[in-house]
Structure 1
């Protein structure tokens, strides 16, 4: 398997890395296991000091780390810098709040005393994606390291320099060797690693297929797992919405990170009364966007992560149009070198079409017009995914009522789905299970031990 940096702006190879040998992998896991034996007994103060130092180093190295993201997966440089800021906030959040989240919780009993004590469980194996190569790792590493666990990460094969940079940050911050380990491995090695008794839990962010494979391996070996998988978020706009706000959020929510986010606003569902006006304004926002080098601050449309990704989206769009959907704008590859695809809006999408059922992981918005909010809810729920979603209405109580009827893990009212350290993040149905971030995220991989004291 190639572990390689290929710049998607020009599809040129930049740097290659060797996969770990069996002996090297064993040394990594043995070192992590040894590190856990002492880290589990460390104080919250010591753990907090480490995460704050990692955050501080990221502030110092923000520009170079952001450039690594843009080099390896094509994110616009301003958005890459924003990703580093997000990471910093996650590390600082858990450094400040973990002790409070994990403090003993009393259990009411009729006699004597009982309480729950949270204890770390061991090495947590993370399988991480390329679309947010620093932030997705931070969301998994920060809470678990603060809980007293240690982390081993198999990162996406197309972002190896980002993967190595994170491990280097922890070492530079003074982390004992083994607290955070980067594993240059192929995906086919993950199932075998699940058999290792030293691996206590597994977390994956990625595709349905990868999640199913990891869940099978974890379940077979009785390991706790957390999965954050795909999404096809519904972005519902009711007739009493602030139209300008809704359109602005639709553009950002769908086309941020070139649409390569699990929580992108992939299905734009608008009540018929305002659908024409919304679509007109939505299209206008996409006309004339500057295509170019993602390292250039003025670029508005950069490449996708890989040539393979661009080819897949082209295939999905072509299949959908062939089945009868219409293109409002875009719809094809941009005629230049690199993994580019035009920002696209599709309409007249029906059941049975590719775009109706599949997640399109790129700059393609599926636009639906519906009769009323009941039809919007029905359409929103007609998906195998259930990650995030949005409802736009000036009547907040109405919006909350609609939100409560959507089968999804998160709903944002009058904004597109977003991620913050203090908000729990996760989905339902085929979007996975478990939660990241907030107090819920730090409770996934701890032993909630009951201690009972009799009178």
Structure 2
């Protein structure tokens, strides 16, 4: 890598942002944010670093990504604690989030030896000679890295979402420029320092994985910057729409992971021993701040009252406390603003005919703690039911027939994750079919959260249509060329066209 080997990671200096601990609202640290001038310099260095990275064979890139995964493994508890401290999710979830990054690194290592395009049959093999053909030609697909991938991530998964993008983007041959949420800047810095050391130990420029701490001004600059060959954005549907328009205006490529208004449907034949813990974890995990959080619970009318009673009893057993305490199951919301959003949503639910059967209040203790909440009695099309509130509020709704509840699942604007609980094999396949769920993640007898890295993660409609992590999502980080090679001494044209 030549002169890059002795070029250390450089941390730019701009305005200062204070990050706070959600468990007590005490300041943790002051983190310098990048200015637009800093951003400009960082993009230039990242583009230069890409020239080095793109020349490294894919299996060697995979080996470096494997080392990044190992470096994260060695710091997994420390990073998990930092996630609890700065984001607010409980310790086991913080560690689990770092583990996701480690796992996707392992996945990407194998992928680095598999990516590539097919050799396609040329017309010479299928078109009758008298009609016309192209003997002596080969038709192949070539996949190349797009170049520089901009990655904008949200506060709720400050490690894993970057990992999903960066590990796969890197083995594809791309450089990455990351802008994390300003409220989780310490996590972004810590992760980047770990990655930078691995890169530089391999005599690769640290700028291959660049970081720009910043706010909306930096995000807007990334969306409008033609040097961003792909922009991956994770966040709200409202902001994602603005990002999509800015990227599309310059005919750029975007990968959008936006909101979710996810539903669990429980039929009369469901195993309630699976339903209760699934609904509980899906609704209150990460204090309701997952994009895959269950926000709607549809219960068949014959089991509605029984499930509500059992679920309320389970909610009462949830251990609430400091997120870094290993006994805690439920921690705080991320910010004071999130607490206000929670209270507003509860009030709207009441005004629209709902009854709070559990929770609904702020917990009297330091920090951003609210009670996990269950609301019943609302119609399926109530405005608040169709609103994604990033808080632990579960709307419980009755249904009678399969056809109507499938339609209710699909009637919201988002289309991320969905689940049914049933033993009916025919119903399961109808749920998976064209008239079933319209979501990107469609589950049976498991909750809406907890996606595996081997499957493509993402959703439809206002969720943005993007896919990250597994399956063939690697193709989004590459550009495809259809290549025809003439190895003959003649020039036959396609479709048998001849010029006499």
Contact between 2:226 and 2:252, CA under 8 Å: does it hold in 1?
no
Residue 117 of structure 2 is aligned to residue 104 of structure 1: yes
Distance across 2 between alignment mates of 1:354 and 1:398 = 29
Residue 482 of structure 2 is aligned to residue 450 of structure 1: yes
1:5 to 5, 10, 19: 19
Residue 229 of structure 2 is aligned to residue 200 of structure 1: yes
Go from structure 1 to structure 2 and tell me whether the alpha carbon gap of 1:403 and 1:314 turns closer, same or farther (over 3 Å shift): farther
SS in 1 for 2:205: coil
SS in 1 for 2:350: helix
Partner in structure 2 of residue 306 of structure 1: 335
Give how far 1:352 is off. Answer: 6.3
Distance across 2 between alignment mates of 1:106 and 1:250 = 47
Contact between 1:125 and 1:203, CA under 8 Å: does it hold in 2?
yes
1:27 to 41, 64, 73: 41
SS in 2 for 1:153: strand
Residue 372 of structure 2 is aligned to residue 359 of structure 1: no
Distance across 2 between alignment mates of 1:188 and 1:352 = 37
| Deviation digits for residues 14-39 of structure 1 (CA, Å, limit 9, x no counterpart) | 11222213332222111100011121
TM-score, length-scaled by structure 1 = 0.96
Distance across 2 between alignment mates of 1:127 and 1:411 = 26
Counterparts in 2 of 1:239-388, with a 5 A limit? 239-350=268-379, 353-388=382-417
Q: Which has the larger radius of gyration?
A: 2
Distance across 2 between alignment mates of 1:40 and 1:395 = 51
Contact between 1:355 and 1:366, CA under 8 Å: does it hold in 2?
no
Partner in structure 2 of residue 225 of structure 1: 254
Give how far 1:351 is off. Answer: 5.7
Partner in structure 2 of residue 410 of structure 1: 441
Deviates more, 1:151-160 or 1:370-379: 370-379
Aligned-residue Cα RMSD (Å) equals 1.5
Give how far 1:2 is off. Answer: 6.2
SS in 2 for 1:357: coil
Q: Which consecutive residues of structure 2, in runs of 5 or more, have no partner in the other structure?
A: 1-14, 125-136, 489-500
Go from structure 1 to structure 2 and tell me whether the alpha carbon gap of 1:109 and 1:3 turns closer, same or farther (over 3 Å shift): farther
Partner in structure 2 of residue 157 of structure 1: 182
| Deviation digits for residues 362-407 of structure 1 (CA, Å, limit 9, x no counterpart) | 2111111101211211211120111110011112332121232122
Distance across 1 between alignment mates of 2:46 and 2:188 = 17
1:390 to 415, 419, 436: 419
SS in 2 for 1:411: strand
- Count of residues in correspondence between the two structures: 454
SS in 2 for 1:172: helix
SS in 2 for 1:181: strand
Distance across 1 between alignment mates of 2:397 and 2:380 = 12
Contact between 1:391 and 1:403, CA under 8 Å: does it hold in 2?
no
Q: Which consecutive residues of structure 1, in runs of 5 or more, have no partner in the other structure?
A: none
Give how far 1:65 is off. Answer: 0.3
Distance across 2 between alignment mates of 1:22 and 1:211 = 21
Contact between 1:272 and 1:372, CA under 8 Å: does it hold in 2?
no
Contact between 1:5 and 1:14, CA under 8 Å: does it hold in 2?
yes
Residue 105 of structure 2 is aligned to residue 91 of structure 1: yes
Residue 429 of structure 2 is aligned to residue 400 of structure 1: yes
TM-score, length-scaled by structure 2 = 0.88
| Deviation digits for residues 332-376 of structure 1 (CA, Å, limit 9, x no counterpart) | 111111101101101111266443120121211111110121121
Distance across 2 between alignment mates of 1:55 and 1:287 = 38
Give how far 1:432 is off. Answer: 0.7
